[in-house]
Structure formats: C-alpha cells, structure tokens
Structure 1
C-alpha cells in the first residue's frame, strides 16, 4: 500500500484515456497500416476493456472517462477489420508455437508465454469482440463503470479547419456515436486537445457539455473545470505534475529496466522478447524479458502514483481553498501497446485508489459534484510540442496546411453548387465531404512532424485529396454519371461512415467564429 496514511484526502481524481488511430483498413499492412490497428487492439483495447469488465463485476462504478474517436470506433466495428483481427490473433498464436520449439530454453519459454497470451486474447475476442466494439461499449456504458467521450468524425486539427466543416465533423461524430452506442456523448476529447477561441460556442450548439485541454491552456491552474466564456461549456485541464509521473520520456514508468521493451522485435518470430534493460542500451544488447521481475515493480509504481495523486489533491486544495479536482490523461494505447504492463498497473491502481482514501470519478461526475470554477477565456492551444499549433501548422508541415485549405475550399464550393432543396441524399456530395475529412485528419501532419512513417502519412493525405478533386472535377464538368461512379468506387475502397449526410453541412449563412481560418 501507499507509504502515506490511507485517511481520505479532499477532492476527486479523474483518469481520462483517449483511444484513437487513423483509418488504416485497406491502406497497407506492415510496417504501418492495419498491423498498427491489430497490435493496439490486442495489446490495449482488449486488456483495458477486460480490466473495466472485471471492475464492474466487482461492484466498482464510474472509475474513469474513456474517449473513443469515431474513426477508431468505425474500424473496431468494420467487418473486414474484425475478420482480419481474428486472423491476426491466430497468426500470433502460430508464431508463438513455433518459438516455443526453439532449442534455447529462454526463447522457448518466451514462446510459451506468448502462446498463453495469444490464446487468452482469442478467447476474449470470441466472447466480447466478434461482432465489433459497439456491443462491448454498450455493455460497459450500461454498467456505469465508465463515461464514454466522443469527438469529431475523422479527427481533424479543428482550429485550422473551415468553421462549417468543423461544425459538420463534430455533429456527424456525435451522431455516429449515438448510432453505434445508443447514446450521445455529452463530453468530448477534442483532437490533439486543440482549441481556438470561438470553438466553445460550436461545442455548446452541438450539445457538448465538457471537453479536455492540456494544463498549460489553463496556465497550469487545473484544480477545477472552467466554463469557457459565456458558453457554459466546461474545459477540464490535464494535470501535468501527475500525468508526467507515468508518461515522461525521461522518468516515466514504462522506461523501467524490468518492463518489456516496446521497440525491440525478435527477428525470427517478430515477437517482443526483450526488456528495457537500460535507456541507453541498444536493441541487440537488451536482456531477455523476465515476467518474474515485474510484479514488484508494478506495485511500486502503483504506490508511487497514488502517493503523487494524494499529495497533489492536498496541495491543490490548500492552494485554492476548496476541494480540488486532479485529472491525469493519456492515450489508451499507452496501456499495453506501448507499455506492456500498463493494463495490470491500471487495474491495481483503480482498485487501490479508494483504499488509499482517494475519491475517483469521471469528468461528468466532477461536474455533478461541483468541481467547476469561474469562467475563463482560453488561448489558441494544443497538447502538442510547445502546447501551440506548431506540430500541425509549423514550417515542416506547411504543405499540409496549404493542401487542406485547397481541398476544403474545393469540396465546399462543389457541394454548395450542387445542393438544392431536396429530401434525396446526394452520394456524390457525401463522398466529397468524406474524402475531405480524411484528407484533413490531424494524424498526417503529426506523423510528419514527429518523423514517424512520414511517407505513409503524406501518401495518405494526398490520396484522399486526389479522391476529393477527382469526384469534384467530374461533378463540376457536369459529368454526373462519372461523378456517381467515382463516388461509389471511392466509398467502396474504405466502406467508412456510411451515415455521413452532406445535407447536414451548415449553409454559407451558418454560424461561424473567429476560430475560422
């Protein structure tokens, strides 16, 4: 248990997880493409949901807020992805079986461990995921174990997006969540925690009650949620003091020498067999992963985090003169995919926090309990490098900024010219907007700025931009049959967001804000 007294501390702690991957289906497999989805599904989404089901079965409620972006939800429900995931798990099991026959006893035991994990994942998938993620999400939502957060349809960097398209993406994203989960989220994780003044009014108009920003957006004063302007929409800020205990490049828990190394693959099996060993140790020199080493380390890191949360709640309560609210926020993929031991750490943490005198609840519960301060005006911001927009609008990605502006202008001009008062859907307009939203996904400039599969990201952005231009050009030339054929072909290529309806795009006289760029 924690080294500090288990007596209750004031306030509330909220854990927020953000689950997101760009649309990967039918766009390559390895090393970037569908493999990324299946790794994250097996290593993070399955274990995290298993943790939540176990907590619910044991009587826990309202332990966190969990964001799932519409574009990820679509992949987790997609028939192709579900079938391919089943095959991927079976392949993992086969690779483990082969490794288990290795003459090296250490490698053979690692193969047996992977075989057990793969077999358990297959059983879990058959029981809970075979028909997609939506049934699993509905079950968890009904149990009251978690608050689900939504978001814009295809994860755009919203401050740089035309206001009409931004509003459309948000409303379509919330509608998509309702269709899949049977409920409309009242809270969102704005992509990249990105904000520009005026967006709060759009949130209010869409029915959003609260959203996440990074701590520096609130100048580090994250002890309560803050209504933005006169919108009534509450911004919750990530507490970096607490969050960086886990996710810090220099001192975060996943870098401990005993934990399994994320970056190092065994050449023959394609499996991860090494432990971190040391932060400066090269991959070929890393020691074999030993699961017997990690149990005590996980407990140590659970206790350290609880001590940090308790101290922060007391500190912020004393500073503000009222019970404080502390929010730690991470990408869901950290737990399991990047940090193999993360789901076990998460399970132990959520069980022990109440024992340590910490009140736990979701963002929605924090609102109900009154952890809200005075209104505030927020600056342009994000949770990226520098906490500004440089990752998505800096010199290294200016070509994306220009591309996105051109494609959005083309799409809106084409759709506006084609729209007439009608009750009939226009599949050409639908696909133009669908491809446009895929073009402006925030993932592509992020991957270039961070030099992670930059070529793939650039190709993806330009592919969707080409689709937008190709359909729009045929429509503008009056080649209606060709436009319809192109739209149908591009839709079939991804089979994504079938319910997107261009008739819901705000008109040119719709509400816009100073955030429109």
Structure 2
C-alpha cells in the first residue's frame, strides 16, 4: 500500500448551555431541539452508517457534559420527539401552498423520526458508547458546564473538570483521555491541572502554536499534548466571508416561510436581501456539495504535501468545528461531511482520531503556549472584555461564595450540591459569549443573573445557619437545574 501523504483529523465540538426548563422560543429548548434534529441526529447517523461498512477512526467527537445531560434527559427526549412530530405536521400543513418544499420536509421529518426511534429512545449515551466501543470515533469530554477556564480559581477549575470527567465516565463507561477545553481557552499552567486529572490531550487554536499545527505538541514538561486547529484548512469551511456554507446554492438559514417555519430559499448571494432570495433547488445544492467536498479534499492534500516537504515526514492537519454547523446552520453539512470522509482516503490521506494520531507518532517537540482562545483576537476579550466586565465580576463573587460554602469535615450535603450546580451554570462561557457577540444578550444576562442569584441566596442562608429556609428555597426551584446527579460539592476541597 502506498504511504499516505499525511493524516487528517476531523474534530467536532458539540455544545449547548443548559436550556431545559429555561424558556422555549425564541431562546431556550427550541435551540436544543433544532440542533438535535438537524445536526446531532444526521451526524451520528452518518457515523453509524460508515461504521456499519467497517470504517473506523472516522472523527473525534466532543460532547460537553451539560449537553450530554440534556441528550439523556427524559424531559428533553420527550421534548425533541414532540418537536420532530411538529416538524412533520408543519410540513403536512404547508403542502397546499408550497408542495415541493413541503414534500421534502415531510420526507426529512419522517426519516428523522425513524432515526430517533431506532437509535435515540434511551438517550445519546448508548449510541455514543456503541460507536466509541466499535472504534468508529473517539469521544472527548470537558469541564461540566463549559466554563472559560482561564478565569476560574484553580480549585473551581479542577472541580468543574473532574465533575465533567466523572459524568462522561458514568455515561460512556470509560474516562476519556482527551478534552475540548471550553472556547479553546488556555492560561499557562492549566496543563498541569489536566495532567493531574488524567487528561492527555486537548485542543488549542492554531495561533497558540504560531500556526505550526503539523504535529501534536507536549506542553512544557507536563506530558499533555496540545493539538492545534489548522486554520488554513478549517477556514475553508468556517470563514464567514468565504466558507462553503455561504455558497449561493446552499439553503439560506435566515429566510423562513413564516406560516410553516420551513426554509424555502437558497443563499443566492451574500448581499441579496431576503425578499430577493431565489427558491432552494436540491439539485443545485447537491452539485455544490460535490464541488466543495472535492475542493476541500484538494486543500487537505496540498496542505499535507507542503507539511511533508517542510518537516521531512508525513504530518497532521486538524480541522475542528462546532457540530451544530453541520445540518443546523449549514443544511447540507452532513452530506458534505460524508463526501469528505469517503473521498479523503481515496486521495491518499489517512483519516483518524486524535488518539490515532498519537499512536502513529505524530508528536513533535515540547512547546510553551501563550494565553489564548479561539475567540475574536485569539485572546480572552470575548469572555473578559469591557462589554462583559459586570459578568466577570459577578462570576468572581459566585466562585467566592462557592468556595466559602464548602468546608472540611462536612458530610455530603444536597443543599451544597445544589449550590455548586447553580455556580457551575452561572460560570458557563455561553453567557459572556452571547453578550459580547450581541446574540440574545438579554437572555444570556437573565440566565447568568438567575443562577448567580441562586448561589448568593443559598450561600447566605447556609452561612446564617438557616437550613430549613435553604431547603424550602431549593425545593421552590422545582428541580429545573438537576443537571448532574453525581455532583459532590466536597470535590472542591483539597
């Protein structure tokens, strides 16, 4: 067999904040169900089908603990099943007005319901475990509620990570050795916390490695490997200015048929107003998928060829994306993924997981990483900038209250566990991101404030010895934030 020109790793990061019981439309559970129906179902169905063909090491999939909890939650399972049924009914109801679109959507909703009934009735974990055990993918974990690690106190950071790793172990049957660091956020020294938790590999953005992403790199003397996202390859898809999803023939995400909620238009042009969008044409979209998949395979092969010339041996390129891009934001994304995963090996490119890349020896010399993220400016401004200074200050108070509520010698206490859960939810990186990007900023501020208020009220009651009042307060929450049943606040103690 001819030696591959190099190795390609696809990494998908699946994450949504805790949305269950926190609103429905326009923000809340609807966001979860749309992503579930249009991204998680088709992407995992694709992996399942390729695995049935005997294909292995297809991709590396991160599922954050807070998302995994929702994908296994009975309330959310009932909710998404109802959402899928409503999708079918909306398509049926639109048949008289927009027959072609309604027929396509009816078929898509029917197929999604069949996949859900076959693979998802008991939640995501059995499916993920099956695919992982079969070697079709590598699963990544992460800190419990996706907090921005560089802004956490060391004890809180370690607690959030351990809670997330324990959760993944409970759901998947084994403790993942890799994580997706939330927002690819890094501060010098975090690698030692990773090593102490048994984490062996994590993701950073390409600029953190000064663009030299051709090999995984040990961080200092920790033995923990950093994989860098190759922006030259990743931005072929991800770039808002020139990425494939903005192509004129793909379905437009923002244009709706308002009576049905279905999407009838193609992008048409980046500056074309909504009312001038042309009707979606599946044949044109299919041709665009084939064209752009072929272009991506060409770009990957050329990139790996250049890497091989530069370092004198086959190297690595890592393309990393949010899973929600594929199917939710970019309707044709799952079909594009399938074309790429089928075609890359035919083009002489080895496709594997991050673990597979390590096993193949694609590891370079140790490196010192700077403070970094994958956000704007590749620094911390999105989560620590002036627009979110009040959120950062509130999160510091939340951490102080959390650390002050747990003292040595305590038995396990459900009230302190509830306080710790609310604190982790308040520390989610999503709230600052949504404010900085002005994306449902009001919802984000309300959520951050609600969780932080619960922390402060409960900490105050416990600190004053008012346990009965604290019990009534937690009971009044109605269990809407019962995310991690195994969470033990005593894990904050040294």
Q: What residue number does 1:330 align with? A: 321
Q: What residue number does 1:294 align with? A: 285
Q: Is the contact between residue 406 and residue 492 of structure 2 (CA under 8 Å) also seen in structure 1? A: no
Choose which of 476, 480, 497 in structure 1 pairs with 2:467. 480
Q: What residue number does 1:82 align with? A: 77
How far residue 463 of structure 1 moved from its aligned partner, in angstroms, is 0.2
How far residue 486 of structure 1 moved from its aligned partner, in angstroms, is 2.2
Kindly indicate whether residue 25 of structure 2 is the aligned counterpart of residue 25 of structure 1: no
Choose which of 238, 241, 255 in structure 2 pairs with 1:250. 241
Note the 1:347-358 alignment, pairs <5 A: 347-358=338-349
Q: Is the contact between residue 435 and residue 464 of structure 1 (CA under 8 Å) also seen in structure 2? A: yes
How far residue 293 of structure 1 moved from its aligned partner, in angstroms, is 1.2
Q: What residue number does 1:420 align with? A: 409
Choose which of 184, 187, 193 in structure 2 pairs with 1:196. 187
Note the 1:134-153 alignment, pairs <5 A: 134-153=125-144
SS in 2 for 1:120: helix
How far residue 494 of structure 1 moved from its aligned partner, in angstroms, is 2.1
Q: Is the contact between residue 141 and residue 164 of structure 2 (CA under 8 Å) also seen in structure 1? A: yes
The separation in 2 between residues aligned to 1:490 and 1:506, in whole angstroms, is: 26
How far residue 490 of structure 1 moved from its aligned partner, in angstroms, is 3.4
Q: What residue number does 2:202 align with? A: 211
Kindly indicate whether residue 309 of structure 2 is the aligned counterpart of residue 318 of structure 1: yes
The separation in 1 between residues aligned to 2:73 and 2:165, in whole angstroms, is: 18
- The range that moved more, 329-338 or 263-272, is 263-272
SS in 2 for 1:359: strand
Q: CA RMSD in A?
A: 1.2
The separation in 2 between residues aligned to 1:208 and 1:506, in whole angstroms, is: 20
Q: Runs of 5+ in structure 1 lacking a partner? A: 1-5, 508-517
SS in 2 for 1:383: coil
The separation in 1 between residues aligned to 2:7 and 2:493, in whole angstroms, is: 39
Choose which of 428, 433, 436 in structure 1 pairs with 2:423. 436
Q: Is the contact between residue 62 and residue 140 of structure 2 (CA under 8 Å) also seen in structure 1? A: yes
Kindly indicate whether residue 385 of structure 2 is the aligned counterpart of residue 394 of structure 1: yes
How far residue 322 of structure 1 moved from its aligned partner, in angstroms, is 2.3
Kindly indicate whether residue 373 of structure 2 is the aligned counterpart of residue 382 of structure 1: yes
Q: Is the contact between residue 9 and residue 314 of structure 1 (CA under 8 Å) also seen in structure 2? A: no
Q: Runs of 5+ in structure 2 lacking a partner? A: none
SS in 1 for 2:10: strand
**TM-score, reference length from structure 1:** 0.94
Q: Is the contact between residue 239 and residue 328 of structure 1 (CA under 8 Å) also seen in structure 2? A: yes
Kindly indicate whether residue 264 of structure 2 is the aligned counterpart of residue 273 of structure 1: yes
Deviations 1:369-428 (A, max 9, x none): 111111111110000000000000000110111000011101211223xx425xx42111
The separation in 2 between residues aligned to 1:272 and 1:52, in whole angstroms, is: 26
How far residue 336 of structure 1 moved from its aligned partner, in angstroms, is 0.3
How far residue 442 of structure 1 moved from its aligned partner, in angstroms, is 0.2
- The range that moved more, 61-70 or 492-501, is 492-501
The separation in 2 between residues aligned to 1:183 and 1:295, in whole angstroms, is: 39
- The range that moved more, 270-279 or 487-496, is 487-496
How far residue 8 of structure 1 moved from its aligned partner, in angstroms, is 5.4
**TM-score, reference length from structure 2:** 0.98
Deviations 1:411-452 (A, max 9, x none): 211223xx425xx42111111111111001000000001010
How far residue 491 of structure 1 moved from its aligned partner, in angstroms, is 6.6
Choose which of 313, 325, 340 in structure 1 pairs with 2:331. 340
Q: What residue number does 2:447 align with? A: 460
Q: Is the contact between residue 92 and residue 106 of structure 2 (CA under 8 Å) also seen in structure 1? A: yes
Note the 1:63-82 alignment, pairs <5 A: 63-82=58-77
The separation in 2 between residues aligned to 1:428 and 1:494, in whole angstroms, is: 13
Kindly indicate whether residue 47 of structure 2 is the aligned counterpart of residue 56 of structure 1: no
Q: Is the contact between residue 197 and residue 378 of structure 1 (CA under 8 Å) also seen in structure 2? A: yes
- For these two proteins, the number of residue pairs brought into alignment is 494
SS in 2 for 1:197: coil
Q: Is the contact between residue 9 and residue 310 of structure 1 (CA under 8 Å) also seen in structure 2? A: no
